[in-house]
Structure 1
Amino acid sequence: MRERTIQLRRATSLFAYWGDGRLFFHNFALRLTVSARPITCELLDFFSDWRTSQAAINCFADYTPRSVRSAISQLVKHRLLLPKDSPELKQDTHIAKEWSDWLPEGSFHFSTKDPPLADLSSWSLNRLKSILPKTPRPKIFKTVKGAKKMLLPTRAFPESEFARVLLTRKTHREFSKQKLPLETVSQLLSLVWGVTGHLQSPVFGKLLRKTSPSAGARHPGEVYLMALRVKGLRAGLYHYHPGHHRLERINSNATPDKARLYCGRQRYVRDAAALFLMTAVFRRTMWKYDYARAYRVVLLDAGHLCQTFCLVATWLGLAPFCTAALKDTLIERDLGIDGICESVLYVAGVGLPAILAPVK
């Protein structure tokens, strides 16, 4: 009897699509997908406002009460209908409020979190090849058919430190067991995420200058240091404050095994000396750009920062890497962020090279 009086409402983090001749409903906040008959749209529409199952039975009088109750039960089970005061409703409401300017297009961000990631490090070469697509590989170069061809002058790179760094940058998978000097971590943080100056805008006021570009100088990026082997710094998770060039200790939850979990169980991550967990505070960009395309520039900003990171790390004689194979929710929980207002986007890491070279 109590079930008939429970207040229910349709999830707002919801979209529908057709696939293989079936109608699917996807709750992008929870990453749950279910197929259903088209009549489900009418039932979900009925629950656009707070209603009870008894009210639905009365409205859909052409159907038996048992069938309506069964349909509602399935919609609640698959989180398409949410009860009042439920954790799912709280999350759904939070997303609807914070992402109102960028929805429904912004659903991509939530739908692609926490992907299923397999540890392939122990797989044989033949097994790895067996999961590749059976179609031919796409060509790695594009040629414009019918276009006139003009050869450029022979490539000649100048003898400069800048060219050396560009040409020697690579992704590393092996690292020395030695600790990373705290001074080197300080240089990395300062040159990648630190404030290098300010710009006074007549419209937007004081804006930050950094070594990487950011759309509208909004700089939504934040970075958290996972110190694993840093000389002079206790292992732990730290937030970097670029305005004061300081670390703010969050907790001691930093181990090689946890780092591996963060990065989709990739084994090489365990041997890194430090991870740099890159997040975005979306409201900084939304405040100026209230249209969904701006989500792209948040991702572009993360890419700019990561390339700067890799180049600076190379210049410092370190061994950098980066990965987007992440367990988003686990990282966000450990950092104490909600994954809605602020969310992890990218992870970079470093160690000393397996074959040691002088560190700047």
Structure 2
Amino acid sequence: MSQLNRYSLAPDLIITYVDGKPKLHLPSVKRTFEVDWKVCELISMITSDSKSLKSLFIEETELKIIDQLFKNGILIDKQASQNSKIKQMVMEWQDWDESSWFLHLQTKNTKFETTEEGRIQNVEKFRETASSPPQYFKCNCSSSSISLPLSTKLSDQTLINSFMQRRTCRRFSGNPISLQDLADVLFYTGGILFTNDTHSYGTVAKNSSPSPGGRHATELYTMVNACEGLKNGSYHYCQKHHALHLIEEEENIRPFLNEVLYGQDYFLDAAVTVFYTSVLNRLKWKYKTSKVYRLMHLETGHYAQNFLLTGSALNLGVFVTAAFKDSLIEKKLGICGINEVAMYVSGIGHSVPDKATRSDIEYAKIVPEDVEIRLPIGEHS
């Protein structure tokens, strides 16, 4: 027991129990150790103030275990731990709880093969062991399908206008948008442009939004509140066939949106609200590294940016939010929350015309001349 006084636990040590077996995780070095539960009890003695705790091992065995724990970085010298960069991160990130720094450390500096020789070897190995690729889209068109109009060219807008007009809208009129507008937004957000066969990874889809490895794990679900030609309710967008599948008709979706968006009532009058999900098996099939958990969030961000810019190009109000109740989305859409998870929420609709001027606006000096910028909503009397 006296030997333990020399050490402290690694600041990033996480202990999990899978199938009743304890595992020690050190995300900073990406190492996992499966141990006996008695070893965990020995570890717990380090942080205990009780003087009456007795080791479960004879002294010789205890010293050997302590030595192994120290060599593997689970125990560290107390003096060395005071200046630990990992400890500093754990302390400074504690407002975000353990999941934040654990994920960051676990996915930091993940190795990716960059040499041509290494890539060829990895592809050959993958080809030998991989199963058939999962389908790159979700389709319910055989049970019901609502075809959407073909997308338009948005020819009266330039990219710079979309950038300048993109502003989070918190005042929607509630007026319906056209089915054409919805079709354009969905297509340029997640519609499939073309597919092609690859030598090792099966058929891949190419969208206007980028995706890690062309896996396109993102699915789009629309909550229709006011759209010409559509009943109110929840739909799934089939990216393959550019069509909608009605999940549930619901005349008034505002109560659900109010609850799922934690009372962000300024979004309730949007004509259409879109839920983004990620189908994990599409990514896990190709990538075995936890860093892909970062990439699936980035992919969703790419999709959402296309949504916002397309909506702005159509001169509609747009918004995006990450404040939502995952479990309610899962229940509404009928997804499990394990193989398909909720990721993001955005919406579109007609904004309330704003006549008020803002006195606190200071334009950046680098903004191009003669470009109209959509400003924040002014104060109304």
> Considering the TM-score relative to the shorter chain, is it more than 0.5?
yes
Partner of 2:297: 299
Q: Secondary structure at the match of 2:189?
A: helix
Return the letter of the residue paired with 2:335: I
User: Structure 2 vs 1, CA of residues 12 and 274 (structure 1 numbering), >3 Å: closer, same or farther?
Assistant: farther
Q: Does the alignment pair 1:165 with 2:146?
A: no
* Runs of 5+ unmatched residues, structure 2: 1-16, 26-36, 43-55, 57-98, 105-155, 355-381
Q: 1:189 aligns with which of 186, 191, 207?
A: 186
- For residues 106 and 302 of structure 1, the distance between their equivalents in structure 2, rounded to whole angstroms, comes to 21
Q: 1:273 aligns with which of 248, 271, 274?
A: 271
Is the 2:318–2:346 Cα contact (8 Å) retained in structure 1? yes
Partner of 1:3: none
Partner of 1:115: none
TM-score by length of 1: 0.56
User: Structure 2 vs 1, CA of residues 231 and 266 (structure 1 numbering), >3 Å: closer, same or farther?
Assistant: same
Partner of 1:239: 236
Q: Secondary structure at the match of 2:342?
A: strand
Give the percent of matched residue pairs that are identical in Structure 1 and Structure 2: 33
Partner of 2:211: 214
- For residues 106 and 286 of structure 1, the distance between their equivalents in structure 2, rounded to whole angstroms, comes to 22
Spell out the pairing of 1:1-360 with structure 2 (5 A cutoff): 41-42=40-41, 161-253=158-250, 255-355=253-353
Deviation of the 1:252 alpha carbon = 2.3
* Runs of 5+ unmatched residues, structure 1: 1-9, 18-37, 44-61, 63-103, 110-158
Query: Which region of structure 1 is more displaced relative to structure 2, 227-236 or 298-307?
Result: 227-236
- For residues 292 and 238 of structure 2, the distance between their equivalents in structure 1, rounded to whole angstroms, comes to 25
Deviation of the 1:226 alpha carbon = 0.3
Is the 1:171–1:320 Cα contact (8 Å) retained in structure 2? yes
- For residues 40 and 255 of structure 1, the distance between their equivalents in structure 2, rounded to whole angstroms, comes to 54
Deviation of the 1:205 alpha carbon = 2.6
Deviation of the 1:294 alpha carbon = 0.9
Give the paired residue count: 223
User: Structure 2 vs 1, CA of residues 287 and 354 (structure 1 numbering), >3 Å: closer, same or farther?
Assistant: same
Is the 1:282–1:341 Cα contact (8 Å) retained in structure 2? yes
- For residues 157 and 229 of structure 2, the distance between their equivalents in structure 1, rounded to whole angstroms, comes to 33
Deviation of the 1:168 alpha carbon = 1.5
1:261-291: CA deviation from partner (whole Å, max 9, x where unpaired): 1212111121111100000001101111111
RMSD: 3.4
Is the 1:256–1:269 Cα contact (8 Å) retained in structure 2? no
- For residues 223 and 102 of structure 2, the distance between their equivalents in structure 1, rounded to whole angstroms, comes to 29
Q: Secondary structure at the match of 2:192?
A: coil
Deviation of the 1:200 alpha carbon = 2.9
Return the letter of the residue paired with 2:212: A
Deviation of the 1:105 alpha carbon = 9.4
Return the letter of the residue paired with 1:355: P
User: Structure 2 vs 1, CA of residues 238 and 107 (structure 1 numbering), >3 Å: closer, same or farther?
Assistant: farther
- For residues 332 and 265 of structure 2, the distance between their equivalents in structure 1, rounded to whole angstroms, comes to 20
- For residues 326 and 242 of structure 1, the distance between their equivalents in structure 2, rounded to whole angstroms, comes to 24
Deviation of the 1:191 alpha carbon = 1.4
Is the 1:106–1:292 Cα contact (8 Å) retained in structure 2? no
Return the letter of the residue paired with 1:218: R
